[in-house]
């Protein structure tokens, strides 16, 4: 009986084990299928998100074209002047625009000032385009690059048929809307009904060998029925998923039809093994679990507990995968939403104000106001575009630093000139102070450090109320790195401050604190992210301290390489009697330290009345000061008022110089009336004091050149090399207004010929565009430098281009150019560079 009982028990155990094994196999198969289906569904949803983003982008361009078609339909086809004017308004728009009169064959573009006739073949190509739509990628005859185009047919006011088209490089669209999955192992493509690949991912891991999806599946031995169903789905506008073998591996194809491009699909392709990696990990765990359960069949309770725990892990993994996909989709949608809003807002203002200015051309006051709003919106749009380009450049790892010898005093002076209008507009107090700064020349990227400090100060002015205080403290300490100095830039304000929970996300892109006080202030949310990235690239650090209602302090720490050629070449100064007054103790200590290093033992005070008394007492003793330095803003009596009192009681021969962190123009009239001899811009460096003493006391230094938006260029002759007519007009008008004579060359070859045929010294400077037909600016510069004439190697040549990254500046230098002026032109920067190479000491007059 026991034997039968034991056999029955063995049978039950064997049966239980068999049931467990079979059930386990079925369970794992179902889990594997479910995980695979869920992952494929996620990919299909992400593909649909990518399709939606591209459709939204195309819809924006279609709306722009529809608007342009309506504008052009109000014009007769024979009104060439109005047609070219309407097209010319799009000169700065993204992409290239063309209007074609399908009856006469005339074309108008946003780049040409005059309409031109199309050849017969091109005209027929445009006539073949029907209705509104999008063209498949084609090779642009003008640029020689693959291009995508959107077009709209319309009728001119006189009934003639017309067509307007916008084109942009295919690569730009591909870079913006390429999708990648699972650590760049899967990619999305845009195809047509015939399976031809129209837009492909630019990522280096994506497959760039095949040109047609059907070729992939046809040549790999896939089932004919499955291939036929896939082709039929694309031809009939269906959405779905297919699986095929390619190069001995299974791939999943997710396809979604586009709404704004008839017959186009977004197709995502990803290896099946990648999709199954996570599922296989879970299944391996389940296999181990079932082996243990089969060996321990008697403890069924443990089986249920382990199984429940395993199921929970599966659900958590699925939930984690779902949340990750949702987070990625939300990030993409948020980015596109912010981009769309922030770009459309100033664009709407520009387009609307341009229309109003055209309608009110005979009312100068209104036109000036419209142009002011256009300029403001244009600057906002340019700032946004620059931020986006910088962010993209940094994240792609393509940003490089352009390190060169930089004067810290010049950098600080430029910074003050930029920030002054912002703080004066809000009546804020602004001060830059130096602490133990021993060196003035360093090697670093001045453009990027300036960008960091301007971002911080711009935020400080935005979020600090009127009459608030903004300070910049520059400190130097020894650096652990050889031949370097450790500099700290501490930017502090008394503004609204930030909440602790927001500080954690301060350096995330498109992040702004949700606060009614902040929402009224313009901003893209990119500035701090870019600032952090630049500081990281410079191998520095940035920290922030802030409390709501108590202001914010940013500290940027950098180890900057010293310029080994910097040396104290200052000739000894005589024993001079100098008085300096400033209510800021840090500035007083800094001035006293620098004067001691120059060999002078000064009298320094923080009180303006004390300074007046010291000057009067010295005069009464017959020991007048050789120089008196007064801060403009001091409590009690100002520096200008102190100068007035000193002039009334002492000798007029004593040089009195006022220094301030504010603009000289603000106090110039009152200061000169009070008998002030000169002005120094804060912060005060040792070189600044040395130059001041030599100019106002020893008379051995020439006055500084005036920095501003104008200069006297009388007698100068420039060769402007530029192929864009509007840019020619702008640059020529600006230079001519300052007295210069300007001659124009429309391409690099013409520039070389004009220079070679001119007399030696005929031209003083060449402004060279980089991208031009016939010969570009780089090659033209190289050819000029190789000419065998005396001035070929010495004439200043400035690059004038929209290519403004560090590598572009390096290319200009390698070609032999002396300076790099980015577009759109910053007039003060251009004039400063011109004065640097053609200073007043070199002024000459040309004989006609």
CATH no. of 404-562: 3.30.565.10
Q: Count Cα neighbours of 260 within 13 Å in the Cβ-side half-sphere.
A: 16
What confidence category does residue 754 fall into, taking pLDDT thresholds of 50, 70 and 90?
very high
| 606: helix, strand or coil | coil
| 262: helix, strand or coil | coil
Structure letter (DSSP) for residue 214: H
* Residues 204, 210 contacting (CB under 8 angstroms): no
Q: Which long-range contacts (CB under 8 A, 24 or more apart) does 518-522 make?
A: 518/463, 521/462, 521/463, 522/380, 522/462
* Residues 75, 157 contacting (CB under 8 angstroms): yes
Encoded tokens for 515: 């606060």
Q: Which long-range contacts (CB under 8 A, 24 or more apart) does 347-353 make?
A: 347/377, 347/381, 349/373, 349/374, 349/377, 350/374, 350/377, 350/378, 350/381, 353/377
| CATH 3.30.565.10 boundaries in the chain | 404-562
CATH no. of 578-696: 3.40.50.2300
Sorted by sequence, the CB contacts under 8 Å of residue 782 that are 6+ apart come out as: 815, 816
CATH no. of 74-173: 3.30.450.20
**Cα–Cα distance, 380 to 383 (Å, whole number):** 5
Q: Beta strands of 24-176 (E only): which ranges?
A: 96-101, 106-109, 116-117, 132-139, 146-155, 161-169
pLDDT of residue 417 exceeding 90: no
Predicted confidence at residue 843, as pLDDT, reads: 42
Give the CA angle between residues 15, 18, 20 to the nearest 5°. Answer: 110
Predicted confidence at residue 517, as pLDDT, reads: 45
Predicted confidence at residue 567, as pLDDT, reads: 59
What confidence category does residue 746 fall into, taking pLDDT thresholds of 50, 70 and 90?
very high
Predicted confidence at residue 303, as pLDDT, reads: 57
Among 259-268, 282-291, 388-397, 621-630, the range scoring the smallest mean pLDDT is 388-397
What confidence category does residue 808 fall into, taking pLDDT thresholds of 50, 70 and 90?
confident
pLDDT of residue 308 exceeding 80: no
Q: Which long-range contacts (CB under 8 A, 24 or more apart) does 620-623 make?
A: 623/577
Sorted by sequence, the CB contacts under 8 Å of residue 210 that are 6+ apart come out as: 197, 216
Predicted confidence at residue 299, as pLDDT, reads: 62
**Cα–Cα distance, 147 to 135 (Å, whole number):** 9
What confidence category does residue 842 fall into, taking pLDDT thresholds of 50, 70 and 90?
very low
- At residue 764, φ and ψ (nearest 5 deg) are -90, -30
Q: Which long-range contacts (CB under 8 A, 24 or more apart) does 710-714 make?
A: 710/737, 710/738, 710/831, 711/738, 711/831, 711/834, 711/835, 712/738, 712/739, 712/840, 713/738, 713/739, 713/740, 713/834, 713/838, 714/738, 714/739, 714/740, 714/843, 714/845
Q: Tell me whether strands 484-493 and 603-605 are parallel, antiparallel or unpaired.
A: unpaired
pLDDT of residue 414 exceeding 80: no
* Residues 293, 309 contacting (CB under 8 angstroms): no
Predicted confidence at residue 534, as pLDDT, reads: 83
Q: What value does the mean pLDDT of the chain take?
A: 80
**Percent composition of the chain: helix, strand, coil (DSSP 3-state, to 5):** 45, 20, 30
Percent of the chain clearing pLDDT 90 (strictly above): 17
* Residues 632, 680 contacting (CB under 8 angstroms): no
| CATH 3.40.50.2300 boundaries in the chain | 578-696, 717-842
Residue 810 vs residue 285, higher pLDDT:
810
**Cα–Cα distance, 514 to 756 (Å, whole number):** 62
Give the CA angle between residues 258, 264, 270 to the nearest 5°. Answer: 85
Peptide bond into 809 cis (omega under 30): no
Q: In what order do the strands lie in the sheet with 578-581?
A: 603-605, 578-581, 627-631, 656-660, 678-681
608-643 pLDDT per residue, tens: 899 999 999 999 898 889 899 999 888 889 888 998
85-107 pLDDT per residue, tens: 887 777 666 778 889 998 888 88
The highest-level CATH class for domain 717-842 is alpha beta
Instruction: From 475, 453, 429, select the one nearest 589 (Cα to Cα).
Output: 475
Q: Which long-range contacts (CB under 8 A, 24 or more apart) does 222-231 make?
A: 231/195
Q: What is the pTM of this model?
A: 0.47
436-457 pLDDT per residue, tens: 888 888 888 877 788 788 888 8
| CATH 3.30.450.20 boundaries in the chain | 74-173
135-191 pLDDT per residue, tens: 888 887 777 888 888 889 999 999 899 999 888 888 888 777 766 777 778 888 889
**Cα–Cα distance, 823 to 804 (Å, whole number):** 8
């Amino acid at each position: 009986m026991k034997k039968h009982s034991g056999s029955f028990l063995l049978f039950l155990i064997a049966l239980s084990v068999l049931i467990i094994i079979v059930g386990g196999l079925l369970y794992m198969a179902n889990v594997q299928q479910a995980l695979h289906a869920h992952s494929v569904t996620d990919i299909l949803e992400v593909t649909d998100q990518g399709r939606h983003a591209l459709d939204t982008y195309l819809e924006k361009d279609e709306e722009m074209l529809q608007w342009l078609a309506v504008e052009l339909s109000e014009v007769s086809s024979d009104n060439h002047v109005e047609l070219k004017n309407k097209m010319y308004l799009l000169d700065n728009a993204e992409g290239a625009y063309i209007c074609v009169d399908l009856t006469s064959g005339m074309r108008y573009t946003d780049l040409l000032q005059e309409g031109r006739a199309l050849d017969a073949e091109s005209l027929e190509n445009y006539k073949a385009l029907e209705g509104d739509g999008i063209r498949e990628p084609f090779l642009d005859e003008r640029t020689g690059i693959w291009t995508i185009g959107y077009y709209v047919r319309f009728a001119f006011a006189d009934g003639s048929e017309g067509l307007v088209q916008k084109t942009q490089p295919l690569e730009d669209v591909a870079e913006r809307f390429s999708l990648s999955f699972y650590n760049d192992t899967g990619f999305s493509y845009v195809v047509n009904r015939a399976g031809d690949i129209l837009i492909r991912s630019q990522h280096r891991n994506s497959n760039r060998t095949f040109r047609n999806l059907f070729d992939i599946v046809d040549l790999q031995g896939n089932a004919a029925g499955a291939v036929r169903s896939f082709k039929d789905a694309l031809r009939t506008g269906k959405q779905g998923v297919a699986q095929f073998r390619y190069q001995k591996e299974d791939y999943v194809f997710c396809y979604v039809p586009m709404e704004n491009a008839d017959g186009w699909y977004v197709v995502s392709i990803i290896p099946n093994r990648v999709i199954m990696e996570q599922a296989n990990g879970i299944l391996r765990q389940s296999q181990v679990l079932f082996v243990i359960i089969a060996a321990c069949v008697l403890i069924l309770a443990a089986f249920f507990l382990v199984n429940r725990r395993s199921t929970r892990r599966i659900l958590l993994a699925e939930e984690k995968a779902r949340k990750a996909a949702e987070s990625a989709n939300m990030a993409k949608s948020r980015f596109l939403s912010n981009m769309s809003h922030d770009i459309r807002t100033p664009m709407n203002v520009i387009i609307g104000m341009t229309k109003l200015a055209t309608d009110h051309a005979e009312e100068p006051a209104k036109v000036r106001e419209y142009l002011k709003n256009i300029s403001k919106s244009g600057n906002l749009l340019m700032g946004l575009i620059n931020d986006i380009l910088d962010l993209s450049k940094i994240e792609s790892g393509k940003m490089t630093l352009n390190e060169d010898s930089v004067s810290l005093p010049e950098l600080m002076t430029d910074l003050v000139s930029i920030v002054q209008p912002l703080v004066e507009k809000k009546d804020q107090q602004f001060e830059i102070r130096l602490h133990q700064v021993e060196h003035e020349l360093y090697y670093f990227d001045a453009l990027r450090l300036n960008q960091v400090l301007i971002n911080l100060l711009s935020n400080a002015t935005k979020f600090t109320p009127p009459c608030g205080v903004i300070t910049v403290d520059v400190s130097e300490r020894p650096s652990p790195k050889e031949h370097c100095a450790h500099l700290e830039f501490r930017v502090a304000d008394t503004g609204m401050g930030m909440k602790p929970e927001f500080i954690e996300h301060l350096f995330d892109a498109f992040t702004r604190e949700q606060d009614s006080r902040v929402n009224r202030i313009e901003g893209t949310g990119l500035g701090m992210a870019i600032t952090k990235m630049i500081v990281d690239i410079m191998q520095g650090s940035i920290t922030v301290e802030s409390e709501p209602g108590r202001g914010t302090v940013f500290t940027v720490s950098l180890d900057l390489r010293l310029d080994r050629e910097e040396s104290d070449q200052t000739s000894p100064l005589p024993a001079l009697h100098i008085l300096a007054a400033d209510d800021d103790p840090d500035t007083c200590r800094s001035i006293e330290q620098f004067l001691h290093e120059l060999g002078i033992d000064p009298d320094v005070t923080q009180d303006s009345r004390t300074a007046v008394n010291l000057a009067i007492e010295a005069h009464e003793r017959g020991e007048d000061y050789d120089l008196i330095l007064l801060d403009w803003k001091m409590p009690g009596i100002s520096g200008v008022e102190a100068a007035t009192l000193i002039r009334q009681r002492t000798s007029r021969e004593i040089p009195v110089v006022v220094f301030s962190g504010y603009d000289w123009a603000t106090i110039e009239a009152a200061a000169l009336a009070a008998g002030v001899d000169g002005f120094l811009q804060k912060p005060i460096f040792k070189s600044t004091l040395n130059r001041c003493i030599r100019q106002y006391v020893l008379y051995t230094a020439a006055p500084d050149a005036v920095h501003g938006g104008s200069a006297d260029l009388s007698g100068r002759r420039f060769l402007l090399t530029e192929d864009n007519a509007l840019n020619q007009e702008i640059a020529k008008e600006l230079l001519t207004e300052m007295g210069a004579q300007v001659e124009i060359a429309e391409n690099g070859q013409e520039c070389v010929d004009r220079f070679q045929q001119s007399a030696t010294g005929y031209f003083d400077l060449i402004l060279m565009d980089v991208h031009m037909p016939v010969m570009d600016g780089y090659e033209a510069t190289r050819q000029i430098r190789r000419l065998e004439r005396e001035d070929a190697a010495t004439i200043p040549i400035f690059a004038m281009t929209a290519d403004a990254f560090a590598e572009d500046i390096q290319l200009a230098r390698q070609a032999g150019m002396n300076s790099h002026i980015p577009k759109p032109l910053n007039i003060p920067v251009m004039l400063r560079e011109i004065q640097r190479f053609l200073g007043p000491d070199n002024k000459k007059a040309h004989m006609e």
